[in-house]
Structure 1
Amino acid sequence: MDLFDDLPEPTQTAGEASVQKTCPSPLEDRGSKRKRDAPDDDEVVEEQKLEEKKVCKGVPILKGYVAARRGEREEMQDAHILLSDMKTCLSTLPTTVSRLAYFAVFDGHGGARASRFAAEHLHHTLALKFPKETENLDKLVKKCLLDTFRQTDEDFLKKASSQKPAWKDGSTATCMLVVDDMVYVANLGDSRAVLCRMEQEMQGGERKCVTLALSKEHNPTIYEERMRIQRAGGTVRDGRVLGVLEVSRSIGDGQYKRIGVISTPDLRRCQLTPNDRFIILGCDGLFKVFSAEDAVKYVLNVLQNGSVERKEGQTEEEGHYEAACQRLANEAVRRGCADNVTVILVSVSF
């Protein structure tokens, strides 16, 4: 059974790629084509077909914005990363893939070491494991993401157990990988990702906003999660594993791994369309005081109404997205969220 939970498919796509940031520690870029001596006609035709295929695909422009607030906590335990161009992290990239982007938010608990480790290392492991071929790409990307989360968890637990005293940190993870116009979201815990899609009303009415969930929450009150924990010898009290841990899947949390807390993410896949406006990735600090629909409507209101101050070099649209991201995080704190709040807002345009 395919682990992907597919969202509604689009009817058309069109657009170009955009670069915002590059990999913080890129591997050497060896993906460029090498010169060949006197290519024959068949090779020229195949290359032309490949370029035509890339153009026809339609690659949306993605730009990421982030806002992080410590709230009333003594320490900022959230971490995040925005890579509008992840190609620089890969030594080779399948020839049919035009663009690779990666955005992720990590909500730490018991300390900030697990979330920071995941933010620093998960995308590098993902780059090393990314498929080198395009046949059955969806299946290969799924395996790549599952392997990457397992490896990241194992690497952190190995480092955590080698410390004296051993680290007991853990972290949620909501990671969005964009391959051309296809979005793959892998998540653990209670951080979330939601998509704003504008759909036409019947009989030629105005377009309405539809909020699509791109992630699935994992907490021990969910039947399947609780059963797994109990089968492994753990207990759930007051909605928490052993009465302590609020999530049932995470990176780290070594002391809970033997009683059913796992690092296997849920995976969802969604093809972007010209009707899509933006994606919100946020930790539970945001969604404790905002429903997914309310968060999307709040962002839309900022985008559609009023003037905003722009940073030097920003377009008016970029200024609105920046303001929407910052105001959403501020509003979460104003509404009484005492937790850390991290918001990543990714604009989508074709």
Structure 2
Amino acid sequence: MDLFGDLPEPERSPRPAAGKEAQKGSPLFDDLPPAAGADSGPGGPLLFDDLPPASSGESGSPDTPLPPPAKSGGKGEKRKPSEEEENGGEELVEKKVCKASSVIFGLKGFVAERKGEREEMQDAHVILNDITAECRPPASLITRVSYFAVFDGHGGIRASKFAAQNLHQNLIRKFPKGDVTSVEKTVRRCLLDTFKHTDEEFLRQASSQKPAWKDGSTATCVLAVDNVLYIANLGDSRAILCRYNEESQKHSALSLSKEHNPTQYEERMRIQKAGGNVRDGRVLGVLEVSRSIGDGQYKRCGVTSVPDIRRCQLTPNDRFILLACDGLFKVFTPEEAVNFILSCLEDEKIQSREGKPAADARYDAACNRLASKAVQRGSADNVTVMLVRIGH
């Protein structure tokens, strides 16, 4: 017998459809080409969706050059990589990664949230600037571990709150210890196991209630292992990296996460294969995300808690990471949000308070101003804005 009984009624207050285009390739580990333009091709996918580690604006990079705040600009065009780039791209990327990895960059999180027009705040977040001691990683391989996450709840706050309280605890318990042959393989397995375990824990608790809880939540988590970011996400919250491009002399908004909507081809195919359907851009015409923690009544319809996992090497040209729920991105493009934040960080009128460093005061102000501006622009959803400063 199904533990969750009937599917939710229309008054569930489902998340509005985002209308994203269908994305091609494997739903889990599509490889993004490196910045030098080397195309991995369909033959040999890597462990992760590798994000470009270089500051170059070459082909294949998902960087979107940002225009000056006073001007409006579009996304940079992509071109086919030359044979020379394809042959030498990997070596070039490796050299730049090694150069960028000589110093461990400091990370510090800041956050602001707004309830908006919703009756309750269903978002949750976690900032753990340094959990190295708790993770007890192999000292010979890993120097620093940090964790940042945003959870956007729907149908209630219980799933997002549970994920915020438990996902990082499960991650710490499963984090690689002792002799590890491959940090990347082990971290990937750790993240997959952590999401699966957290979802199963919540579903057991939800199904034991009378009536059963029908809450669900997105999850966008950034795990920093030394200077490598591992981004694991479910649903439509997003992570964006602000990177300075030396060639264009502009900052770029680099997408670190992949949204999961039932309108996307791979997502829709999985849902239909499981016996579900997509109507009006939603699972069974109700649920707008195709991956989540919780949503037990939809798990039999192909909704999964398996995250996309991407990896990104930090460089000296990286300035900050933005994590935010879709309440922000309904009214801000990533480029607009990054430009807005940059203007706040350059505002010398922002004064530090209570002995805080000026940089901290500006990041605090940037979070609060961006969250407030999203509400002013008409976002009726909860809005959570998290910034992670990258120190050099």
What secondary structure sits across from 2:300 in the alignment?
helix
Q: Does 1:334 align with 2:379?
A: no
* Match in the other structure for 1:149: 195
What secondary structure sits across from 2:142 in the alignment?
coil
Q: Does 1:111 align with 2:153?
A: no
* Match in the other structure for 1:124: 169
Note the 1:209-288 alignment, pairs <5 A: 209-288=251-330
Q: Does 1:183 align with 2:236?
A: no
* Match in the other structure for 1:25: none
What's the Cα RMSD here? Answer: 1.6
TM-score (ref. length: structure 1): 0.84
- In 2, the alpha carbon distance for the partners of 1:93 and 1:85 equals 15
- In 2, the alpha carbon distance for the partners of 1:211 and 1:134 equals 34
From 307, 313, 327, the equivalent of 2:349 is 307
Residue identity matched to 2:112? A
What secondary structure sits across from 1:279 in the alignment?
strand
After superposition, give the CA deviation of every residue in 1:234-264 in whole Å (9 maximum; x if it has no partner): 0111100001000000000000000100000
Tell me: CA distance 1:3–1:110, structure 2 relative to 1, closer, same or farther (3 Å).
Answer: farther
What secondary structure sits across from 1:145 in the alignment?
helix
* Match in the other structure for 2:50: 6
Contact kept? 2:323, 2:386, Cα under 8 Å: yes
- In 1, the alpha carbon distance for the partners of 2:263 and 2:158 equals 26
From 168, 172, 184, the equivalent of 2:218 is 172
What secondary structure sits across from 2:364 in the alignment?
helix
- State the Cα distance separating 1:303 from its structure 2 match: 0.9
Residue identity matched to 1:161? S
Contact kept? 2:47, 2:185, Cα under 8 Å: no
From 176, 181, 184, the equivalent of 1:135 is 181
- State the Cα distance separating 1:3 from its structure 2 match: 4.3
After superposition, give the CA deviation of every residue in 1:255-288 in whole Å (9 maximum; x if it has no partner): 0000100000001111111100000000000111
Q: Does 1:345 align with 2:391?
A: no
Contact kept? 2:323, 2:387, Cα under 8 Å: yes
* Match in the other structure for 1:90: 135
* Match in the other structure for 1:41: none
Contact kept? 2:199, 2:293, Cα under 8 Å: yes
Contact kept? 1:94, 1:131, Cα under 8 Å: no
Contact kept? 1:87, 1:93, Cα under 8 Å: no
* Match in the other structure for 1:63: 108
| Number of residue pairs aligned between Structure 1 and Structure 2 | 304
- State the Cα distance separating 1:313 from its structure 2 match: 2.3
Q: Does 1:159 align with 2:201?
A: no
- In 1, the alpha carbon distance for the partners of 2:130 and 2:333 equals 30
From 303, 306, 321, the equivalent of 2:363 is 321
Contact kept? 1:3, 1:266, Cα under 8 Å: no
Tell me: CA distance 1:3–1:169, structure 2 relative to 1, closer, same or farther (3 Å).
Answer: farther
- State the Cα distance separating 1:95 from its structure 2 match: 3.2
What secondary structure sits across from 2:161 in the alignment?
helix
Displaced runs of 4 or more, over 6 A: none
- State the Cα distance separating 1:306 from its structure 2 match: 3.9
- State the Cα distance separating 1:305 from its structure 2 match: 2.9
- In 2, the alpha carbon distance for the partners of 1:156 and 1:311 equals 40
Q: Does 1:197 align with 2:243?
A: yes
After superposition, give the CA deviation of every residue in 1:37-95 in whole Å (9 maximum; x if it has no partner): xxxxxxxxxxxxxxxx9xx7311011110001111101110000000011232355443
The percentage of counterpart residues that share the same residue type is 62
TM-score (ref. length: structure 2): 0.75
After superposition, give the CA deviation of every residue in 1:208-242 in whole Å (9 maximum; x if it has no partner): 11111000000000011001101111011110000
- In 2, the alpha carbon distance for the partners of 1:101 and 1:160 equals 29
Structure 1: which 5+ residue stretches go unaligned? 12-52
* Match in the other structure for 1:22: none
- In 2, the alpha carbon distance for the partners of 1:10 and 1:201 equals 11
- In 1, the alpha carbon distance for the partners of 2:47 and 2:156 equals 31
- State the Cα distance separating 1:349 from its structure 2 match: 1.8
What secondary structure sits across from 1:262 in the alignment?
coil
- In 1, the alpha carbon distance for the partners of 2:142 and 2:289 equals 35
* Match in the other structure for 1:49: none
What secondary structure sits across from 1:164 in the alignment?
coil
Note the 1:22-41 alignment, pairs <5 A: none
Of stretches 90-99 and 66-75 in structure 1, the one that deviates more from structure 2 is 90-99
- In 2, the alpha carbon distance for the partners of 1:158 and 1:333 equals 36
Residue identity matched to 2:367? C
